Amino acid sequence: MRTAITVSPAAWLASPPNPTSPARVLVNFRPPVAVCEFKGPARFLRAAGLSRSRGGLANPWGEWWTPEEVLSRIVTRLDQYEGWLRADELRKAVPAQYRGLAAICRDWNDLSEIWELSLPPGEVLQGLVGQAREQPEYSHLDPKRRTTPMLAGGAEQVFFKVKNPFWVRRVSGF
């Protein structure tokens, strides 16, 4: 269950615990954004594969998460192509759709691992909720250039400042 909290996103980000720069976070959302309280049970997913820009794995306990429903909608939408596309093509389409909608630059993450944040029943977690803003396909490209390939964004994402690391586990890859 999700409930909006009446606090400005900038004030929430700058406040304890774990104060974060509002400018660093808000630039990654399309307006509007809202601070919400989630009450478990709830599930959120995060791709945390190899990161060329970091030279290792992306952080599986990071701040940016996608509600489980986003991935479920992608899979459901692609089910209409069963029989038209081969199974291997459909398997490749899921991470491609996820990358585009979540706007995950290719050099940030190869999407080889999926991690789950499972909020237990009755537990509460606050997060900043909004749609992912478009990003260049590779983080070093200039998003203002007309020829830069862009990832569309638009999927709902949640920024969690604080979460219980015991609620996070690896579930699979694409």
What's the pLDDT tens digit per position in 65-110? Answer: 999 999 999 989 998 998 898 989 988 999 999 999 999 999 999 9
Per-residue pLDDT of 25-47, as tens digits, reads: 999 999 999 999 999 999 999 99
Q: What letter represents residue 42's amino acid?
A: A
DSSP secondary structure, the chain, as one string: -EEE-SS-HHHHHHSSSS---HHHHHTTEEEEEEEEEEESSEEEEEE--EETTTTEE--TT-SEEEEHHHHHHHHHHHHTTBTTB-HHHHHHHHHHHHHHHHT--TTT-----EEEEEE-TT-EEEEEEEEEPPEESSTTS-TTSTTS-EE---SEEEE-S---GGGEEEEE--
Strand duo 124-132 + 156-159: pairing: antiparallel
Model confidence pTM above 0.85: yes
